Amino acid sequence: MKCTINRRSQFCASHRYWLPELSESENLRLFGKCTRAPGHGHNYVLHAAITSELDAHGMVLNLTEAKAIIQREIIEPLDFSYLNDAWDEFAQTLPTTENIARVIWHRLVPHLPAPLRLTNIELYETPNLWASYPENRQGNGMNAYLTVAAHFSAAHRLALPELSYEQNCEIYGKCARPNGHGHNYRVEVTVKGDVHPRTGMLVDLVALQNVIDHHVIEPFDHTFLNKDVPYFVETVPTAENIVIRICQLLYQPIEDIGATLHKVKLIESPNNSAEVLAEELMDLKISQSRSLAAVI
C-alpha cells in the first residue's frame, strides 16, 4: 500500500531581488521594496511530501533518515545564508518563493533512495505567502503554484426569502437569525504558471495582490453581504457560494496579468472552510452556457 509522509523543516535566510541588466526604475517597478540593499530575510518553513509503498517495518522512510537527508542537502546550505549566493541556480534565476521551491525539488530528488518519490515541495515565506512545486506539474519543469492569503470582515444571514423564519431555521440553524452574524474571513488564492527563467516570478506579486484587493477585499470588507453586495441579494451567502463568487470574480483578471487561477479557499472560521478548483468551475460554466444555447 502506498502512503505519503510529510517532513517539516525550517531555515532562516535573506535575499534581494535585483537584476543588474535592468535600470533602477525597472527593478523598482518589478520588485518594489524587495530591491533594497543589502536585502531582507524570512523564517522559511519547508514541507516535503515523500511517497512510497510501506516497507516491512510499516514505514515509507525512516523519519530519522528523512530528516538527515533534508538537513544535509537543503537546510545546512540555506540556513542563515544570503540566498542569492547560496546556490548557483540563484545566480541565474532570482530566489523568489516559487523558484526556491523549484530548486529545492531538483536538489532533493537525487538523494532519495528508490523507490521513494518526492511528490510535493511546499515552501512558506510568510503565513500569507507560499509556493508549491508538485510532482504532477505540467510543462517544461518551470511550472509551479503560488498562494496569497488576504482577509476581510463581513456579516451575512443565511435564509431563503420564499421560506418562513421557522423553515429557514430548520435549514440554517442560528445562521437564519434576522440580524445576521459576522466572520473574519481568510481567503487563499492559488495561481499557477511558469517560473520566469530570469526574474524567478510566476506572476507579478504586487499585481496579483492588487487584483485580489480590487475585486474581492474592497467590495466585501466591512459589509453586510446580503445587502451591500448585489450578487448576494439573490444568492444565499454561504461559505460555498462566497468562494464560488470570489473564483468567478478573480478568474479573468488573473488571466490578464499572466497567470492562471488554480484554486480559491475561503476560511470562515477555524472549524469551517470551503474551496473550489477554478478549472472545474469554469468548465461547468462553459458547459451550462452551451446547454442553454442549445435550448435557445
User: Of 73, 89, 175, 240, which is the active-site residue?
Assistant: 175
Q: For residue 141, which phi and psi values (nearest 5 degrees)?
A: 85, 0
224 alpha-carbon distance from chain centroid: 27
Contact predicate 239/274, CB 8 Å? yes
Contact status, residue 90 vs residue 84, Cβ threshold 8 Å: yes
Cβ 80 vs Cβ 12: under 8 Å: yes
Cα 207 to Cα 58: distance, rounded to the nearest angstrom? 47
Cis before residue 115, ω within 30 degrees of 0? yes
Tell me, what amino acid is at 165? Answer: Y
Is residue 129 within 8 Å of 148, Cβ to Cβ? yes
List the grid coordinates of 167: 423553515
Contact 132, 144 (CB under 8 A): yes
Q: Which three cell numbers, joined as nine digits, stand for 275? A: 474551496
Q: How far apart, in whole angstroms, are the C-alpha atoms of residue 16 and residue 31?
A: 9
Q: Is 268 an active-site residue? A: yes
Is 188 an annotated catalytic residue? no
For residues 246 and 261, is the Cβ–Cβ distance under 8 A?
no
Q: Of the listed 151, 181, 214, 222, which one is catalytic?
A: 222
CA angle 223, 228, 234 (to 5 degrees): 125
Assess whether 175 carries a catalytic annotation. Answer: yes
- C-alpha–C-alpha distance, residues 255 and 277, integer Å: 15
Which residues does the annotation mark as catalytic? 175, 222, 268
